[in-house]
Amino acid sequence: MIENPQHSSPLFEVRELSCEREGHVLFRKLGFSLDRGEILQVRGSNGAGKTSLLRIVCGLDGSHQGELRWQGVPLASCIDDFHSELLYIGHRLGVNQALTPLENLRWSCRLHDRVGDGEIRDALAELGLASHENLPCRSLSAGQQQRVSLARLLLRDAPLWALDEPFASLDAAGIALLEKLLLRHSRSGGAAMVTTHHVLGIPCLRVLTLGLPQ
C-alpha cells in the first residue's frame, strides 16, 4: 500500500516488482514512484522484505521480477550512471573497527568523490564527532559508529539516498540530527528511501508498507 499518488515524471519508478525467497513471496507486483524532494519510508514487520527491496532498488540484488526505471530509463540501461547518483548505506555500517573515523571516510569517499580531510572533519563535527575523528572506531559506541557511517551523507552529492535502518543505535540527539539531514536533502531537491520503524515527523514523507495484501 502506498500512501501517495504517483507522479507523471518520477525520479525513480518501480513497476510490477515481485520477489520470492526460498519459496516465500515477500512482495508481488509492487509499484511506486519517487520524485525529487520526496522521502519514502518503507515499513513492515521483520522479514517483510524491507532490506531486500532496498537492495533490489539499488541494483544490488537481481533475484526479482519487474521493472526499475531511473529518470524514465530502464535501470539496466543506465546502471553505472545510476550508481554514480546513488548513496546507499546498509544496515551493516561498513566501518572498519581498526581505522579512525577520518580514515574510514577517506576510504569510502575515494570511490566516487574527491573529498579533502577538511571536508571530512567538518562532516564529523556536524555529526558530533569532532573530538573522536582520530580514535579507532572500535573505541566508539554503536551510536557513534552509526554517526561515522552517516557522515557520508554530507560528503556525497547524490540525488538519491537509500538508507537501511539508519536510526539504529542513535540517541535522541542523533535521531533529531538525521531527521534534519533528511529534510535538508529533500529541500535541496534530493530524494530518499528509508527503512525504519522510527516514526518520522517530516512533511515531505510518503509511506510504503510491506506485508499488506497486493
Residue 112 pLDDT: 64
In this structure, how many other beta carbons lie within 10 angstroms of the beta carbon of residue 196? 18
| 57-83 pLDDT, tens digit each | 998 887 889 999 999 999 999 999 999
What does each C-alpha distance from 11 to 55, 90, 156 come to in angstroms? 17, 21, 18
Compute the average pLDDT of residues 116-138. 96
Do the beta carbons of residue 17 and residue 56 sit within 8 Å?
A: yes
Packing angle, helices 142-150 and 101-109, rounded to 10: 30
What value does the CA radius of gyration of the chain take, rounded to a whole number of Å? 17
| 91-122 pLDDT, tens digit each | 887 899 999 999 999 998 886 667 899 999 99
178 has pLDDT over 90: yes
Q: What is the DSSP string of 25-80?
A: EEEEEEEEEE-TT-EEEEE--TTSSHHHHHHHHTT-----EEEEEETTEEGGGSHH
Residue in 43, 5, 6, 7 with CA at minimum distance from that of residue 27: 43
- Kindly state the cell numbers that stand for 9: 515524471
Lowest mean pLDDT among 77-86, 108-117, 151-160, 176-185: 108-117
Domains located in the chain, CATH noted: 1-85+161-171+191-214 (3.40.50.300)
What does each C-alpha distance from 212 to 45, 49, 62, 125 come to in angstroms? 10, 12, 23, 41
- Kindly state the cell numbers that stand for 208: 510504503
- Identity at 5, one-letter amino acid code: P
Residue 4 pLDDT: 43
User: Which H or E run includes 197?
Assistant: none
Mean pLDDT of the residues in the chain: 90
44 has pLDDT over 70: yes
Q: Report residue 54's pLDDT band, with 50, 70 and 90 as the boundaries.
A: very high
